[in-house]
């Protein structure tokens, strides 16, 4: 199953609302997770089951979608949110990741 994220790069300002899309090459129900990665660090789980917020993750992060199209939304960007975001499908092996979306400060 191939995952395609868009956009690959996103430039935004603190306080902006941003949305990242992840499209699957075939239906994966709600078996999708989102991760945040900062340079030199391991990825951090943000959202799983497409829309469930991982414990401790700020509520400005939200996820939606099912089947083949999913979105990650950050309602009001904070300085610590500038990072790279990845989606991952957990519907069937081999698991796969999207290519990533790098969120940069405008």
78 binds another protein (CB under 8 A): no
Stretch that binds another protein, among 10-18, 64-72, 73-81, 91-99 (CB under 8 A): 91-99
Task: Indicate if the alpha-carbon torsion angle 49, 51, 52, 58 is positive or negative.
Answer: positive
- Residues in the interface with another protein (CB under 8 A) total 22
- Residue of 22, 24, 31, 72 interacting with another protein (CB under 8 A): 31
- Residue of 18, 24, 33, 103 interacting with another protein (CB under 8 A): 33
- What CA–CA distance (Å, rounded) separates 51 from 13? 24
Structure tokens that stand for 66 in this block: 């099912």
- What CA–CA distance (Å, rounded) separates 8 from 4? 9
């Amino acid at each position: 199953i191939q995952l395609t994220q868009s956009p690959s790069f996103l430039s935004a300002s603190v306080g902006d609302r941003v949305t990242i899309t992840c499209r699957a090459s075939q239906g994966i129900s709600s078996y999708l997770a989102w991760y945040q990665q900062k340079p030199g660090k391991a990825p951090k789980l943000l959202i799983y089951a497409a829309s469930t917020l991982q414990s401790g993750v700020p509520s400005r992060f939200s996820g939606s979608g099912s089947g083949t199209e999913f979105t990650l939304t950050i309602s009001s960007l904070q300085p610590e949110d500038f990072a790279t975001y990845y989606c991952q499908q957990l519907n069937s092996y081999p698991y796969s990741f999207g290519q990533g979306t790098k969120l940069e400060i405008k």
